Each structure stands twice: as structure tokens, then as C-alpha cells.
Structure 1
């Protein structure tokens, strides 16, 4: 009887385990990117000339959209004005970027590894023609978007976005992240803007939870990882994420690395049915009568 009771308990435990849905087993990774697989080419206009340090071509499916908005009374940006490497989001070797930009805190981003994605209006503005810099004429607006991410098996309101990032804050730039589900309009999930009283302080709002926090930025303090809850709607199949640097002048940078999207899976059993049948037959044959 003792053996039989033990086997009965084992059967119950095995059947329970086999029917546990993925949804109670924690977050599963549905997308990740660290940009290290990119083929980097030579620098273009930057002062430190090197090969294999920069590219405008992101990973497959990633898209960059950049607009230089003319300021009131100003002409559009003349062709060739602005450092080529930083005409919107780009991808570069972190060590080279730090060196060619004379550091200014970029090297204090300790979580960055090898290739990173960078929007750097500070470096973009380091050029003059006819005594005019780019930010005398236009504002820097650039968006970086992921490919379409399959979230069809992810439970509603369970997605989390995590990534490492580096920035220094300065007026008038601000940052946003948007999530777009299927054909619906994008929703804002994060907003970062300068503090009016002290523009080196970044005021962060997590739009999906209402959480707010201030981050003091400086040359020594540039390392800001994020984890953001995303309320993916029921039935959503695809998601696109977008990082935006908006209304920037000669205003430092925002760079990202180690992007990861996780979510709680659907209700599919952990093991397929044929394994359950085999296991049940084996257990049944060993149970004493």
C-alpha cells in the first residue's frame, strides 16, 4: 500500500506538471538584439579615422526615420551640413564613438558592449557652413524602430521591454518610446524630458503605469537601464517598438543596447500529448494491484 500511495502521488504530480501552462512559468523571451552582429564599415567625417566602426544599416527589419525640421524663419538644412555619422540614429563601436566624441561621459556607460545604437545630436552639430551650425537652422528628430515582433502566443498585458541606455539631458530635447500593435495607432510607453529648473535632470514618465522618476544626468552619470511594462491588447499578433529623439539641438545623446522583449506565454501544455501517454503507460504498468 505504501508503494501504491507513493506511485499515486507521483502520477498526480506528473500529470499536474504536464498540464501546467506556460503562463505560470514566468516570462519568455520573444525578441532580443545587441547589435553585435552588424558589419561595421569605415568612419566618414569624424575626427578619429578608423575602419570597422560605424554603419547606418541596422539589423534586418530595423528602420530609421529622420527629419530635420526647419526652425522659424530658417531655411532647410543645406546638403552636407551636419556630421555624416550622426545624421539620425546610427550604429557604432562604443569605444570608437567614445574616443572620437572626446568622451564627455560616453565612456562611463559601463553596460555597453561592442556595437550600440546611437542618436547623437551633440556630435551631429559639430560642423559649420557660412558661420551656421545645423541647429541654427533645424531641430534633430530621429526614430529607430524594431522589426515586427511576433507576440501572437503572449498573454495580454504581460509584455516587458528591457534595455540598457545612456544619455545626458539638456533643453530642448526629449525622448519617447512607442509601441504599435498590428494596424492600430502607436501608444506612448515612455517619455523623458528635461526639468525646467535644471535641464540636466531627466524627468521620466512610464506612461503605461503612471510611475514618474527623476534621473540626474552628468558626465559621470550616464548609465540608465530601463524595464517597461507594456499592456499588449488581447488578440494582438505583432508589435513594433520605436525609440525617438525629438526637438534636439546641440543636446548630447541617447544610445541603447541589449534590447530584450519578454512576455508570459499562452496555455499550451509544456509537454506534448504523446509523452504523457508514454509516461502514463509506464507508470500504470509499474503500479501493483
Structure 2
């Protein structure tokens, strides 16, 4: 997804949830993740392995070793990470259900003790590349099978996927994966700095593709300052449940989070659990934002509303909130290069109006600049002002009844 489009959607969600922005409480991006920096696992067809004869035994252990090439769902290196590059001659460590990268940590195969919970399927059983949450190329995911996966058009490039349907479709030893237990997997973000963020203003947004079936469940959980995780979103497959979520293969999800006063960090966690040979949950373009705090990105684009022709020297203007903007500079000049400046003001509001004496009749250039410490973005317009009447005695920038009244007062006063 285009980042500008994603920011615009996030901004709309924030404004809807929190109301219009107020001075001193700018909306800022606190965290974002599109998984494009994550290494990819090897694009192999299920049940097809490459390499030398000596590697076949390793490959059929279910941990997806491919000798002489990229490896998946295995661990190598120090510290051990999923072997998504050619590790050459290394001692293979079978996938133990856990991996971490760039502050994210994933665990697969844990027991879930909720209502109806059952023993979890363990690592090493089922299709290797789909054991737990996987970061994969979108095209590779839909090449495994379509079945409406291809409808997730909001996603692009690398996508976070939990797919118990594909997991259950293959096992090297012919074991029926879901007969051994349920698919349980969760992935947790790095700590997100929310120091200085106004309480109850955090929004979590992400693009989502979900298909329900049987007992499959999905949840978004949050934690503050290293505390216990609390569930803030639940998708269920049971149509009789109040949390039932029908097919939604291409949606944007926004969740308002009640971040407590004084909290300085938070984590988010995506969980797919209690699943058998069901469907999937895929996620992309994650953003966390809130009011206040330290932005991690420059201001986003915004729209400026301003009449191009004005029959008054009192010229009002307004603009939409720029995500991450700390303040706005309003500059009015006689030239397009803004060398001959006649008005310059800085504000945290989303509107501004010239004073009656600021402008005379003529053409002007107007620039509004949204900025923070990381950068700026701006909107520029040319306007015309036509009020060169010396009888503007109020003065309010226009000729009206008040000017006539003031003239009569002055005339009668002699």
C-alpha cells in the first residue's frame, strides 16, 4: 500500500475516534511496520525439496532444510534466527516453534487453556513454511492456493500470515497435522515508545484478511510497561458468538486503545489460536498512533482550504490535520518565492485568519507548512484580495453598514 494512502486512512480513523485535533495534542505516528525489512523464507512447493541426497533426511524432518540454498523454519547463526539465507555447512537445529527478528518475537505450539481449548500441535508437524506466523511474499502466499487469498489487495510485498489451512495440507511423514492438536501461534511487537502520549488516545491500525471456519479464533492483545497482555479485539468463527467475524478478506481495522496515564511503553500482539484445518488471518501495514509523544515520521500530507478570490482583507483559511505535525507556519507573501513576506504566524490550530490591516488589494501567495523535528510538508496557493476602499473605517476588512455608521459618527463629531 502507498504510505501516503495508509497515513490518510489512519488519520481519518484517529480523527473519528478522538474528535478534531486540539492545540498541544498533535496526532503522531508512534510505530509502523510493513515487514518489508524481514528476510523471506525459501519459495518451495509443499513436499518438494532440493539439494543433495545427503540432505534429504534433514529435509524430511519437517523443518524444511534446503542444502546449498535458503532455508526456512530452521535456526542458524548466533543468536539463532530462522535460516532464511544460505547457511552453507551448518549443524541444523530443528525449528522449536520460536523465532525473533527486528524486535518481533513469535511462538508456535503453546497450549491454550480457554473454553474448549485443547492440546496444541507441535513444531515439526505439518507444512514447514506455515508452522506459526510467517512473513512471506504476498505472491508466494496466494500461489499456495487462492481461495480468496488473492482478494487481499491492501497488502503488498511482504505480509504476516498465519494459515492453518495450508499448514494442515502437508506433512512429510503423512501425519494428519490437526489430528495432533490445534494451531496456536502469537507474534509480539517490540516495545513501542508512548512516553508523553495523552491517555486513552492510542489507535492501532492494520490491514487484514480473515476467513473464519470451525473453531479458529484471532485476537489482538496489548501490554503496557511490560505488564500482562489484555485482549482488545477478538474474531471468532462461531456465527452464534457476539465476536463472530464473517469473511473479511480485504479490510482495514482500527482499534481505539485505552492507554493508561503515565504509561511509557506498549506492545501489540497478534494471535491465531484454537484452529485446525480452517482458513487464515493475514496482516500488513501496521500503525500505532496517538496524541502527543515523539513522532517517528515527518508530517503527512494535508489539504488546505482557502478561497482564491476574497472581497475582504480578512482572509480565513483552514486545513486538515497533518499526522505527526507539531505546529504549522502560515506565510503570506507578495511573490511566489516568499521573499517579500507580509504575514508570518505559527500556530498549533487548524485554522487562521488575517487581521483587517494585514493585506490590501492585490495578489498574494499563501503557504502553510506542517512541521516537526523530522521534516515538513506544505501546501501553497495563490489568492486575490479586492478591497481597496479607504472607507473601511471599522476596520474589519470589508465595506459594510458598520463603516457607514462609523463615518456618520465621525461626520457628526465635526
Q: Which residue of 2 aligns with 1:80?
A: 124
Q: Is 2:169 the partner of 1:126?
A: yes
Query: Hey, what's the Cα distance between the residues in 2 that align with 1:129 and 1:42?
Result: 17
- State the TM-score, normalizing by the size of structure 2: 0.50
Q: Which residue of 2 aligns with 1:22?
A: 24
Which one of the candidate residues 34, 40, 61 is aligned to 2:103? 61
Query: Hey, what's the Cα distance between the residues in 1 that align with 2:72 and 2:242?
Result: 31
Which one of the candidate residues 211, 214, 228 is aligned to 2:255? 228
Aligned CA distance change for structure 1 residues 79 and 190 (closer, same or farther; 3 Å)? closer
Q: Which residue of 2 aligns with 1:113?
A: 156
User: What is the Cα deviation at residue 48 of structure 1?
Assistant: 8.0
Residue 112 of structure 1 contacts residue 164 of structure 1 at CA under 8 Å; is this kept in 2?
yes
User: What is the Cα deviation at residue 130 of structure 1?
Assistant: 6.7
Query: Hey, what's the Cα distance between the residues in 2 that align with 1:165 and 1:135?
Result: 24
Q: Which has the higher helix share?
A: 1
Query: Hey, what's the Cα distance between the residues in 1 that align with 2:49 and 2:100?
Result: 21
Query: Hey, what's the Cα distance between the residues in 1 that align with 2:107 and 2:181?
Result: 16
- How many aligned positions are there? 233
Q: Which residue of 2 aligns with 1:192?
A: 235
What SS is found at the alignment partner of 1:85? helix
Q: Which residue of 1 aligns with 2:272?
A: 245
Query: Hey, what's the Cα distance between the residues in 1 that align with 2:157 and 2:71?
Result: 10
Query: Hey, what's the Cα distance between the residues in 2 that align with 1:62 and 1:265?
Result: 25
Q: RMSD of the alignment, in Å?
A: 3.4
Q: Which residue of 2 aligns with 1:135?
A: 178
Q: Larger relative contact order (C-alpha < 8 A, sep ≥ 6)?
A: 1
Deviations 1:175-215 (A, max 9, x none): 11111001322211101112345xxxx854xxxxxxxxx64
User: What is the Cα deviation at residue 125 of structure 1?
Assistant: 0.7
Aligned CA distance change for structure 1 residues 88 and 189 (closer, same or farther; 3 Å)? same
- State the TM-score, normalizing by the size of structure 1: 0.70
Residue 112 of structure 1 contacts residue 257 of structure 1 at CA under 8 Å; is this kept in 2?
yes
Query: Hey, what's the Cα distance between the residues in 2 that align with 1:137 and 1:126?
Result: 14
Residue 121 of structure 1 contacts residue 252 of structure 1 at CA under 8 Å; is this kept in 2?
yes
Structure 2 unaligned regions, length at least 5: 1-21, 51-68, 74-81, 83-98, 295-324, 328-343, 346-414
User: What is the Cα deviation at residue 229 of structure 1?
Assistant: 0.1
Query: Hey, what's the Cα distance between the residues in 2 that align with 1:83 and 1:260?
Result: 30
Out of 80-89 and 127-136, give the one that drifted further. Answer: 127-136
User: What is the Cα deviation at residue 53 of structure 1?
Assistant: 11
What SS is found at the alignment partner of 1:225? strand
Which one of the candidate residues 235, 240, 246 is aligned to 1:216? 246
Larger Rg: 2
